[in-house]
Structure 1
Amino acid sequence: MNKKLVVLVLAVLTVLMLAACGEKSKEDVTKDLKSKVEDLKGYKADAKMTLQVGEDPQTYEVEVWHNDPNYYRVSLKNEAKDQSQMILRNEEGVFVLTPALNKSFRFQSDWPSNSSQAYLYESLVKDVLEDKNATFKETKDHYVFNTKTRYQNNQMLPTQEITFNKKDLTPVSVNVMDSDKNSLVKVEFSKMDVKAAFDKKDFDMKKNMTGAQLEIPVSGNVEEKELSVLYPTDGISGSELVDEQEVATKDGKRVVLTYDGEKSFTIIQEQTTSVPTMTVSTSLQGEVVDLGFTVGAMTDQSITWTHDGVDYMLASKSLTQDEMVTIARSVQGSMVK
């Protein structure tokens, strides 16, 4: 009888030990993610990014190429509006390409390491590693982390939920939220190739511009499009529109919006023009800033960006960078004062 009892106890202990071995702690998974990224030589990923900006959500197809250590190619396409942008990083610097306008801008920037990037695998893992207070849960097929973000405007997008596949630790989805836990940015990965091989030419600026233009030809009538003035839907409390000036230009018109109050700022909007032949990239001071619907350039006192055939500039001596990003993100949200 005692022998049977001993056998039964041993069997129960064995089952419990096996069950315990099947569950991993937050520290175990974090360590595995770190090793996975460190061992990666390169990858390709496809994803869908949905932005809750303005009244209607906007969806972008995202294609990511990364070749260790510092080569990147991120293609962002909004098929509904026939828009595309591409971010390139190679030995010459960081480029933002707008193929339909035949325009490219070059930055001397630390992108993408200087901020969270919801569509970059290694950036998501870095977010997990750097947030010692991140929460963790395990489901049947996934590991789920809730972490702080590292955005320049992390007051607007402070937290995110990152889901990884249990089987191979690749990303499944990212849900970036505001302070009220409302989802503002969602990225859903559909494909991940962690054994992708690349050539340096794959990250060449001119080659990628030409290739992108075969899909979306250079627009010859951008300047003919009527400028619809947009106003920020998320401003600064105590600041209001005090002046609106319209100036005729050779390509249409330029509108200057002046806001004053507790903090003052100016927003300039002007029809953009395509460049008929490829020129040397314009060098921009400042950092690449992800506005969600487009990519811009940010300095201490300004943000510039192009969206839907319009060039924008927001300038202020009194706004913080976080405040400028918040306002810039909301400019495309409404056509009502």
Structure 2
Amino acid sequence: MNMKKVLLVLLILPLLLITSCGRPTDEELFHEVQKTISNFNNYKCTSNIVVKSNKGETKYVFIETFVKPDKIKLEIIEPKDSFGCIIIYDGLKMFLVHPSINQTITLENIKSIDRQYFLGDFFKNLSLCEKPQIMKEKIGEEEYIIINIDMPAQNQYRCSQSVWFNVKDFIPYKMNILDKEGIVNTEVIYEDFDYDIILEQ
């Protein structure tokens, strides 16, 4: 090896070492996600949900607020005929606030809400999962860590969940629900996501 090649190697090697040392591993990123999930008290976001079936696609848009451990508030944006309606689950009962009649109705016959569409439920399931699958993906200029877990109450349509977290701030970008064949039948895109907002009384 001549002197020029030796000098080139000496110049490149420190850069490679700095680059490799500066990039966190998947496990390190996963632990940061776990830390974020453990430390937050609530979140608020706009959830854009697309449910796919053999009859086509159905779209829902909610302003979603979650408070640990299991309180959920959903302000309906779409479908348009339900715009302004608010569904509240306080951990024990469900309530419907209907703006057109200015009334709050207790939904006595519905004891719980289907939480599998909501991130709060994913966070709880992740804390109980021993071996989640971890991957990375770059979308545009942003890099994401993808965490996939098996759903506790599985059926042929809901078998696993995958959530994309931005590696910069661990803000969720989207969630996919997959069937037993590994096909996505529900996709949720999150906008305006904030941890630990000041809650209205």
TM over 0.5: yes
Partner of 1:206: none
Q: Is the 8 A contact 1:85 1:97 kept in 2?
A: yes
User: What is the aligned partner in structure 2 of residue 141 from structure 1?
Assistant: 143
Supply the AA of the counterpart residue of 1:136.
M
CA contact 2:134–2:145 (8 Å) conserved in 1: no
Q: Secondary structure at the match of 1:52?
A: strand
Quick one: structure 1 residues 66 and 160, their matched pair in 2 at CA, closer, same or farther if it must change by over 3 Å? Answer: closer
One-letter identity of the residue aligned with 1:97 = L
Tell me how far 1:46 sits from its aligned partner. 1.0
Separation in 2 of the partners of 1:155 and 1:98? 33
Determine whether 1:57 maps to 2:46.
Answer: no
Q: CA deviation at 1:173?
A: 0.6
Structure 2 segments unaligned to the other structure (5+ residues): none
Cα distance change on mapping 1:134 and 1:43 into 2, 3 Å: same
Deviations 1:192-221 (A, max 9, x none): 12241114x3xxxxxxxxxxxxxxxxxxxx
1:32 counterpart letter in structure 2: E
User: CA 1:166 to 1:47, structure 2 compared with 1: closer, same or farther past 3 Å?
Assistant: same
Partner Cα distance (1:68, 1:80) in 2: 29
The answer to whether the 8 Å contact 2:73/2:86 transfers is: no
Deviations 1:114-151 (A, max 9, x none): x863332x43344445150414224352112233223x
Q: How does 1:1-337 map to 2 (within 5 A)?
A: 8-53=8-53, 55-82=55-82, 84=85, 86-89=87-90, 93-97=92-96, 99=98, 103-106=105-108, 117-120=116-119, 122-129=120-127, 130=129, 132-139=131-138, 140-150=142-152, 152-199=153-200, 201=201
Q: TM-score, normalised by structure 1?
A: 0.48
Structure number, greater radius of gyration: 1
Give, in angstroms, the shift of residue 96 of structure 1. 4.2
Provide Cα deviations, 1:206-257, integer angstroms capped at 9, x if missing partner.
xxxxxxxxxxxxxxxxxxxxxxxxxxxxxxxxxxxxxxxxxxxxxxxxxxxx
SS at match of 2:56: coil
CA distance in 1, matches of 2:169, 2:193: 10
TM-score, normalization by structure 2: 0.75
Letter paired with 1:163:
W
| Conserved? CA contact 1:44–1:193, under 8 Å | yes
- CA–CA separation in structure 1 for the residues paired with 2:8 and 2:26: 32
> Equivalents in 2 of 1:20, 1:171: separation in Å?
26
Question: Can you list the C-alpha shifts for 1:71-124, whole angstroms capped at 9, x where unaligned?
Answer: 43233443244364513216xx23142637863225897x68xx863332x433
What is the RMSD of the two structures over their aligned residues, measured on CA atoms? Answer: 3.4
Judged with a 3 Å threshold, the aligned counterparts in structure 2 of structure 1 residues 106 and 26 are, in CA distance, closer, same or farther, namely: farther
Q: Which runs of 5+ in 1 are unaligned?
A: 202-337
